[in-house]
Amino acid sequence: MKRWLCIILLLFFWLPPAFGKTKDVSIPILLYHRFGPSASDSMTTPTSLFESHLKYFSDNGYTVMPLRTLVDYHLGRGISPPLRSLVITVDDGHQSVYTDMLPLLKKYHSQATLFLYPSAISNASYALTWNQLREMKETGVFNFQSHTFWHPNFKQDKKRLTPDQYEASVKMQFVKSKEKLENEFHTRVDMLAWPFGIYDEPLMKKAAEAGYVAAFAMMRQHATAGDNIMALPRYLLTNSNGEFVKRILLNGSR
């Protein structure tokens, strides 16, 4: 009996916990928007620069993990992320995600979460089409999540609408986007990227009521176990150079 008790105690102290959150986990979530041959504006990352990021991750032993894995961990139902992990996200649904980003993610065996606002899909000239998105889904490279229905500015809406109108508009933005994406892709949509990085406590509550379990903002810091899961930070990458991305990874990495 004593022998078995010793074995159990040894296992308890020697084996790391497989589930649940640990305070030292610190994961950078990178946010891109669009790509092109050059940085034509602040939100465009040169395609060659993006490839240099992926190459750096690959050459230096970083794991590009699914956002879902990180969210499950934060919810206490997944394993602790491996050392030297990071997450790639991209917002809006620009055509260059299909033409530029997809081939490079496939080349480097990486993956990303794409936050979409459905009103633009197959409508706006800059945006992806539903057929392109279905093709992207088949590759297994992308997971699609919500960026509201038409990317509103909640601060401006709150000023120009009556309280009742604002409440109805917020609910529509959350619910209609989630329903449209789930119907189109037959997949679970329960993560939200805040448009313009704007959020507050009432918005977080409304998002949770609409069925979102996690939401993402724009703050230059790693995501840690102590962060509010409805406002997890992401590094907004514009036309920043590769050295900046390297500093991000080294800042706060485990």
Q: Supply the pLDDT for residue 21.
A: 54
Residues 6+ apart with CB under 8 A from 182: 188, 189
**Minimal CA–CA distance to 115: which of 138, 135, 94, 134?**
94
What does the pLDDT read at residue 3? 57
Say whether pLDDT at 60 is over 70: yes
CA dist 17 and 98 (Å) reads 39
Predicted confidence (pLDDT) per residue in 110-162, tens digit: 999 999 999 999 999 999 999 999 999 999 999 999 999 999 999 999 999 99
Cα-based distances in Å from 185 to 96, 129, 133, 211: 20, 13, 9, 17
Averaged pLDDT, 194-219: 98
- 167-181 pLDDT, tens digit each: 999 999 999 999 999
Classify the phi-psi angles of 92: left when phi > 0, otherwise alpha if psi is within -120 to 50, otherwise beta.
left
Q: Is the pLDDT of residue 9 over 80?
A: no
Identify the structural domains of the chain with CATH numbers, from first to last.
27-250 (3.20.20.370)
CA–CA separation, 162 vs 165, rounded Å?
5
The fraction of the chain above a pLDDT of 90, given in percent, is 78
Report the pLDDT averaged over residues 225-230: 94
Structure tokens at 100: 């530029």
CA separation for the pair 245, 29 (Å, rounded): 11
Residue 13: band (very low, low, confident or very high) from pLDDT cuts 50, 70, 90: very low
18 has pLDDT over 50: no
Residue 242: count other Cβ atoms within 10 Å of its Cβ.
14
Taking 70 as the threshold, does the pLDDT of residue 6 lie above it?
A: no
At residue 242, the pLDDT reads: 67
Distance CA 7, CA 214 (A): 39
- pLDDT by residue (tens digit) across 236-248? 997 766 678 888 8
Q: What is the pLDDT of residue 79?
A: 83
Mean pLDDT for the chain overall: 89
Q: What is the pLDDT of residues 61-76, one digit of tens each?
A: 999 999 999 999 999 9
DSSP notation for 98-132: IIIIHHHHHHTT--EEEEE-GGGTTTSTTB--HHH
Predicted local confidence at residue 16, as pLDDT: 37
